């Protein structure tokens, strides 16, 4: 019986989900919802060396990332955060968050402070408070060593150059001070700017001196241009300084300032020097050897990313299919206005609401939905949202919206005569759908369900915006630490291909095993009808 095989498929999927959740390398921390008492939760990117970077062990006083067990954060910001936590008498927790998500995370209460090389600009002060400065640096421009701009003495020597800066930073706005510059689109990550410079897509990018020193120490083809006083960028002290970001009106602000006052300028400079020394250039061992070394050194982090990605894709696709099935069946219910006007209008309202759900979630980016749910709900309503719950919810609801149309199309593809035949022998709408229509529909749409599963494996990468440490987010962190972006992304690309290729072949095997040469015939029986496979 085809129905038994379908039930078996669901049972097998459920068991697989349970097993995967038990053996997954990643155990998701709920650091973002831990009581604030006794804990100092600090948000940072963990891939902006020498201020912060990722590593696979606790060497050199690194701190484990709370929302990515097995991953450790280190760098100037991390060591400063440790001193602040000790001075406050609190336990330090590092929370890995994308740059654009740091301010929303702080405002929504996911973290207590931002220590991520952030400057206390006037625009940012409108939204969050800042401590006193804990580091000050000059601005430089990173270029290729063989660039015509490598020997520039003034920022005006960059006339005609393609220059950019990081998105949502003052680095990007100061570019306007260069007359005749070809200002490029702002980029979200320093890693993206470095890659663009190294490959000649742009001529250079604006950076703080420590970040430039760290980047060039790992990339022998790059250098940075410093400027004498009066020939560089005109900046205010708040632009070139770095401070701790804190929620508006937080009682932590004066306490953090008190601790910072006890850290001398000499000690701060020594901490930065130590961080830069840890980023010295590695021996050039060759492109493919780099790939091998990165894979071996960071294999535990990569495996944790794979586990999270597969868990999200499998569970969300399964839940999304159930949602899509229910939505499609409900929207397919027909009612007679004359026989039951109340039911008719109720179903019209329900159909309208379901149509809105489908159009809204298919018509808006998953990344935006994740931000609104994860950060928006706590900010507006004070209701805490856990990171993995949000991830499962967003991907499942998105998948449900898409698959509801797939299921509806599958139902509509069934010959109308079968519906009429079921009515003729006295079957209800539910009996018709369960016993006749849905078995055939599911058979026909299994390739589409499998395709959605494969898409979800790749699309979970957008959830890095809410700190889901899936495979792509892990890859970005490794690239930002090693500065070997091509080698790192080749590893990530190969893993994605292996996952999608393997899943595709398994799904085709299941499809062939269950439904190859399957056909359906109706059999009348006392009290109704059933379907059997011939």
* Average pLDDT rounded to a whole number, residues 255-274: 94
pLDDT mean across residues, the chain: 86
Does the pLDDT value for residue 341 go beyond 70? yes
Start-end of H helices in 24-134:
76-88, 99-107, 122-125
* pLDDT at site 515: 62
Identify the residue with better confidence: 12 or 482: 482
**What domains are defined for the chain?**
32-131+256-283 (3.40.190.10), 139-226 (3.40.190.10), 299-533 (1.10.3720.10)
- Residue-wise pLDDT for 181-215, tens only, equals 999 999 988 888 998 999 999 999 999 999 898 88
Both tokens of 433, joined, read 């759908």
Does the pLDDT value for residue 339 go beyond 60? yes
* pLDDT at site 88: 95
156 exposure class (CB count in 10 Å sphere: 0-12, 13-18, 19+): middle
User: Treating both helix axes as pointing N-terminal to C-terminal, what angle do 190-198 and 471-482 enclose, rounded to 10 degrees?
Assistant: 60
pLDDT above 90 as % of the chain: 57
- Range of weakest confidence among 7-16, 435-444, 471-480, 488-497: 7-16
Residue 523's Cβ-side half-sphere holds a number of Cα atoms within 13 Å equal to 8
Determine the Cα–Cα distance for residues 219 and 442; give it in Å rounded to an integer: 53
| Ranges 33-42, 88-97, 483-492, most confident | 88-97
* pLDDT at site 6: 47
The edge-to-edge listing of strands for the beta sheet with 63-64 is 53-55, 72-74, 63-64
* Average pLDDT rounded to a whole number, residues 304-329: 94
* Residue 125 Cα distances to 254, 255, 265, 532, angstroms: 16, 18, 24, 69
Residue 129 parent element (H or E): strand 129-136
Place of tokens 């797939």: 406
112 φ/ψ angles, rounded to the nearest 5 degrees: -95, -25
CA quadruple 222, 475, 395, 506: dihedral sign? positive
* pLDDT at site 426: 85
* pLDDT at site 429: 75
Does the pLDDT value for residue 448 go beyond 50? yes
* Average pLDDT rounded to a whole number, residues 283-307: 88
Interstrand relation of 204-208 and 162-164 (parallel, antiparallel or unpaired)? parallel
- What is the pTM for the complete model shown? 0.77
Question: What band does 528 get if pLDDT is binned at 50, 70 and 90?
Answer: very low
Determine the Cα–Cα distance for residues 275 and 210; give it in Å rounded to an integer: 9
* pLDDT at site 437: 87
* pLDDT at site 200: 93
Of 459, 363, 373, the closest CA to residue 104 belongs to 373
* pLDDT at site 516: 61
Length reported for the chain: 534
Q: Is 198 within 8 Å of 221 (Cβ atoms)? A: yes
Determine the Cα–Cα distance for residues 428 and 527; give it in Å rounded to an integer: 11
Q: Is 74 within 8 Å of 61 (Cβ atoms)? A: yes
* pLDDT at site 30: 38
């Amino acid at each position: 019986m085809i129905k038994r095989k379908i039930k078996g498929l669901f049972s097998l999927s459920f068991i697989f989900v349970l097993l995967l959740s038990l053996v997954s390398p990643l155990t998701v921390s709920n650091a973002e919802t831990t009581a604030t008492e006794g804990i100092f939760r600090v948000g940072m990117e963990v891939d902006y060396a020498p201020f912060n970077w990722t590593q696979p062990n606790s060497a050199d006083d690194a701190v484990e990332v709370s929302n990515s067990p097995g991953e450790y954060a280190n760098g100037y910001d991390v060591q400063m955060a440790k001193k602040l936590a000790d001075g406050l008498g609190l336990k330090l927790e590092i929370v890995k968050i994308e740059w654009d998500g740091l301010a929303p995370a702080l405002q929504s209460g996911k973290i207590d402070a931002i220590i991520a090389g952030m400057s206390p600009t006037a625009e940012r002060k409108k939204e969050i408070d800042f401590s006193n400065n804990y580091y000050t640096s000059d601005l430089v421009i990173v270029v290729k060593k063989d660039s015509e701009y490598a020997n520039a003495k003034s920022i005006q020597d960059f006339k005609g150059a393609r220059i950019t800066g990081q998105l949502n930073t003052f680095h990007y706005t100061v570019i306007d001070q260069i007359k005749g510059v070809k200002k490029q689109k702002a980029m979200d990550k320093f890693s993206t700017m470095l890659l663009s410079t190294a490959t000649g897509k742009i001529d250079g990018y604006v950076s703080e001196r420590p970040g430039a020193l760290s980047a060039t120490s790992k990339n022998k083809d790059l250098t940075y241009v410093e400027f004498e006083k009066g020939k560089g960028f005109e900046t205010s002290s708040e632009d070139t300084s770095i401070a701790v970001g804190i929620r508006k009106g937080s009682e932590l602000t004066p306490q953090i300032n008190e601790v910072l006052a006890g850290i001398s300028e000499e000690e701060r400079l020594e901490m930065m020097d130590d961080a830069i020394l840890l980023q010295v250039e590695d021996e050039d061992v060759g492109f493919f050897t780099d790939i091998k070394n990165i894979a071996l050194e960071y294999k535990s982090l990569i495996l944790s990313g794979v586990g999270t990605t597969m868990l999200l894709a499998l569970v969300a696709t399964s839940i999304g299919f159930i949602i899509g099935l229910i939505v499609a069946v409900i929207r397919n219910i027909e009612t007679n206005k004359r026989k039951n006007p109340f039911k008719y209008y109720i179903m019209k309202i329900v159909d309208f609401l379901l149509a809105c759900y489908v159009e809204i979630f298919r018509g808006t980016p998953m990344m935006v939905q994740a931000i609104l749910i994860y950060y928006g709900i706590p900010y507006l309503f004070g209701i805490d949202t856990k990171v993995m719950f949000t991830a499962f919810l967003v991907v499942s609801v998105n998948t449900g919206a898409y698959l509801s149309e797939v299921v509806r199309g599958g139902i509509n593809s069934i010959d109308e005569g079968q519906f009429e035949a079921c009515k003729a022998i006295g079957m209800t709408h539910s009996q018709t759908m369960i016993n006749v229509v849905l078995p055939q529909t599911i058979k026909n749409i299994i390739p589409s369900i499998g395709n959605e599963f494969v898409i979800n494996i790749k699309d979970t990468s957008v959830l890095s915006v809410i700190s889901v440490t899936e495979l792509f987010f892990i890859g970005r962190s490794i690239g930002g630490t090693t500065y070997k972006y091509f080698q790192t992304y080749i590893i990530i690309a190969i893993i994605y291909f292996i996952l999608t290729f393997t899943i595709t072949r398994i799904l085709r095997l299941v499809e062939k095993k269950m439904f190859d040469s399957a056909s359906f015939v109706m059999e009348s029986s006392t009290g109704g009808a059933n379907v059997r496979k011939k």
